[in-house]
Every structure is written in C-alpha cells, then in structure tokens.
Amino acid sequence: MTLAEQQTPDPALARLSLALDGIPQRGLPPVERWHPPYCGEIDMRIAADGTWFHNGSPIRRPALVKLFSSILRREPDGRIVLVTPVESVGIVVDDAPFAAVEMAAEGEGEARRIAFRTNVDDLVTVDANHALRFEEGGDGGLRPYVHVRRDLWALLTRATTYDLLALGEERLIDGVSWFGIAGGGSFHIVARSEGA
C-alpha cells in the first residue's frame, strides 16, 4: 500500500504522498535542489508544540509526520513549504517547525556538548552550524530555539528549556554582565544579568 493510499482523500496531500513514494529514504531529500512550481497552500498546520494538523485534525501517524518533516523548506520570503520534485505547497507554522523534546549535556565550558532530540527524531548537537538563539515571547517569557537544518529551527519545550537554563552562568563581556550558556565552542548569550 502506498502512502497516497493510506491518506485521506485530500488531493494535494495524496499528490505529495505519491511524489514521496519514489524517493529513497536514506538521509534527507535534497529539497534545496528541487525547484517545482508552487501550487498554493494546503490545510496543514504545525502547532507551536510541534503537533501537525491536516484539515483541523492532528496527524496521528508519527512515520507520516517524519516523512513530511523531511521535505520542509523555508523559502527566501520566509514562507515554509513542503516540497517534492514535482510540486511545492505552503503550510502554516505557528512558531517553529520542530520542537526540541529532549536534551543531553556533557562536559564544561565551551567544550561542553549539548544535544537535542526533536519531536521528529532529528538529533542536533549545538555547534557552529546548529546555534542556539533566544527571543522574548509576547508574554515577556523566554523562547529558546536550536537550529536544526535549512534555516529551520526547533522551539525548546518547557522541560528542555529548564534543563538548558540550569547550565547557565554569568560572564562579564566588554564590561557588561550577561547570563548565557557555554557549549558547542562558544558562549550563547541569553540575556543581560539582573541589575547589570
């Protein structure tokens, strides 16, 4: 049974699944080399917690979510699309396309290794190609992200955020006190220290 036959009758989703059936599953598909026509948006959304929805209902098949996550691409205009060799379709992403659901760390200082597992089982080690970034949320809270691939980021869950911030330390940089995380070869600034 093909992926297209396992899906709901949505024609756009069926076409995507059919196009993916012929792609070898070793490694990630080379979406950066595909330049198919844009065929509009489909009713697919990735919620801020990493849950994928199609036609308003959660996609309950993890293998299908993983497959679709492998063909995500951020376009130069910031739009996120699912892309195959034959078509590209836009989807809605509430925050980041991935969620960092698990974290492990070993070592100290800049030599510390910090690794994350995403909700679609990508393993990401913080380094020069997989940076951490911190943004202030609309509620004034901290929103930490780790770069996964292709200008696509994972939002850390509350639990992984607490684990990461437990590694934090204050450092004086150019006369200013900063709170940050050392690891992956650098010091990742989170925010100015209180009272600085």
Q: What is the pLDDT of residue 3?
A: 39
Q: What is the pLDDT of residue 10?
A: 60
Domain residue limits, the chain: 11-19+36-93, 98-166
- Between CA 75 and CA 71 the distance in angstroms is 12
Domain 98-166: assigned CATH number: 2.30.270.10
Q: What is the pLDDT of residue 12?
A: 53
Q: Are 89 and 81 in contact (CB under 8 A)?
A: yes
Q: What is the pLDDT of residue 24?
A: 47
Would you put residue 150 in left (φ > 0), alpha (ψ -120 to 50) or beta? left
Q: Digits of tens for pLDDT over the chain (196 positions)?
A: 333 334 444 655 555 555 545 544 568 899 999 999 999 999 999 999 999 999 999 999 999 999 999 999 999 999 999 999 999 999 999 999 999 999 999 999 999 999 999 999 999 999 999 999 999 877 778 899 999 999 999 999 999 999 999 999 999 999 999 999 999 999 999 998 875 4
Q: Is 95 helix (H, G, I), strand (E, B) or coil?
A: coil
- Give the residue among 142, 81, 149 at the shortest CA–CA distance from 120: 149
DSSP code, position 26? S
Helix (H) or strand (E) run with residue 52 in it: strand 52-54
Q: What is the pLDDT of residue 144?
A: 96
Q: What is the pLDDT of residue 26?
A: 61
- Between CA 146 and CA 101 the distance in angstroms is 11
User: What is the second-level CATH architecture of the domain 11-19+36-93?
Assistant: Roll (3.10)
Which 3-state string (H, E, C) describes 101-163?
A: EEEEEECCHHHCEEEEEECCCCEEECECCECEEEEECCCCCEEEEEEEECCEEEEECHHHHHH
Helix (H) or strand (E) run with residue 180 in it: strand 176-183
Q: Are 36 and 85 in contact (CB under 8 A)?
A: yes
Q: Provide the token pair at 33.
A: 């080399």
Q: What is the pLDDT of residue 4?
A: 38
Q: Are 18 and 6 in contact (CB under 8 A)?
A: no
- Between CA 58 and CA 44 the distance in angstroms is 10
